[in-house]
């Protein structure tokens, strides 16, 4: 069985992520979408919430499994008998980092290949960080994330920060 791991923080998952997962699922018998736990990152959603959102966003892809993990990716892949890691590239700026990580993972697990897939042109400018910022500022982001994510993101931001900022409204105080 050809198994690949598609790792990421997915905070939250975007349509760009889903596109990479869908395309990967056509190449492998099983894709494990791995929600990574990175203690140096402060996430908006817990690892359990991120995994749940990934499950909802990928439920239409029959050969996808979702998991969460904290530790060495190469060891996780070995434990799951994965032959490859799949990563999406939005821009050339992503390449250098992903190339270095691929080399490190290959040195730790020589049987593990890394497949870098170019983002669909519709999603090259989409990132989880940009989606969170758009939502915070009251911008339209519904075309860039799965419906479940849109709802949860707005709810979470409202819990933490109150309603989204009003677009283009600046209040100036008049002084003496």
Catalytic residue from among 30, 78, 80, 90: 90
Confidence of residue 174 (pLDDT cuts 50, 70, 90): low
Catalytic residue from among 41, 60, 171, 174: 41
Known active-site residue 30: no
**CA of residue 67 relative to chain centroid, distance:** 13
- DSSP conformation letters of 72-113: -HHHHHHHTT--EEEEEESSHHHHHHHHHHHHHHHHH-TT-E
Burial class (CB in 10 A: 0-12, 13-18, 19+), 60: exposed
Backbone angles phi, psi at 128, to 5 degrees: -60, -40
pLDDT in tens, 9-48: 999 999 999 999 999 999 999 999 999 987 777 899 999 9
The answer, yes or no, to whether residue 170 has pLDDT greater than 50, is no
The answer, yes or no, to whether residue 168 has pLDDT greater than 70, is no
CATH label, 3-161, candidates 3.40.50.720, 3.90.190.20, 3.40.50.620, 3.30.70.360? 3.40.50.620
The answer, yes or no, to whether residue 176 has pLDDT greater than 60, is no
Which of 9-13, 73-77, 80-84, 171-175 has the weakest average pLDDT? 171-175
pLDDT in tens, 83-125: 999 999 887 777 888 888 999 999 999 999 999 999 898 888 8
Which of 106-115, 126-135, 165-174 has the weakest average pLDDT? 165-174
Which of 71-75, 89-93, 121-125, 134-138 has the weakest average pLDDT? 89-93
Backbone angles phi, psi at 122, to 5 degrees: -65, -20
Supply the pLDDT for residue 137: 86
Catalytic residue from among 17, 50, 87, 152: 17
Determine the number of helices (DSSP H) and then strands (DSSP E) in the chain.
6, 5
Q: Where are the domains of the chain?
A: 3-161
Two structure tokens written together for 75: 């060891």
pLDDT in tens, 56-66: 999 999 999 99
Known active-site residue 151: no
Query: Which 8-state DSSP code applies to residue 124?
Result: T
Strands (E), the chain: 3-8, 30-36, 64-69, 84-89, 113-118
Let me know: does 3 contact 28? Beta carbons within 8 Å. Answer: yes
């Amino acid at each position: 069985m050809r198994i690949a791991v598609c790792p990421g923080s997915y905070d939250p998952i975007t349509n760009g992520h889903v596109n990479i997962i869908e395309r990967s699922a056509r190449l492998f018998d099983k894709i494990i979408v791995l929600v990574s736990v990175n203690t140096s990152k402060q996430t908006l959603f817990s690892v359990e919430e991120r995994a749940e959102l990934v499950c909802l966003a990928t439920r239409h892809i029959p050969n996808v499994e979702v998991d969460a993990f904290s530790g060495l990716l190469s060891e996780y892949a070995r434990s799951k008998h994965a032959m490859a890691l799949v990563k999406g590239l939005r821009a050339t700026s992503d390449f250098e980092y992903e190339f270095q990580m691929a080399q490190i993972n290959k040195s730790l697990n020589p049987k593990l290949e890394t497949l870098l897939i170019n983002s669909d042109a519709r999603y090259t400018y989409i990132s989880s960080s940009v989606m969170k910022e758009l939502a915070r500022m009251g911008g339209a982001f519904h075309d860039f994330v799965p419906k479940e994510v849109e709802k949860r993101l707005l709810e979470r931001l409202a819990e933490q920060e109150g309603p989204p900022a009003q677009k283009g409204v600046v209040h100036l105080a008049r002084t003496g």
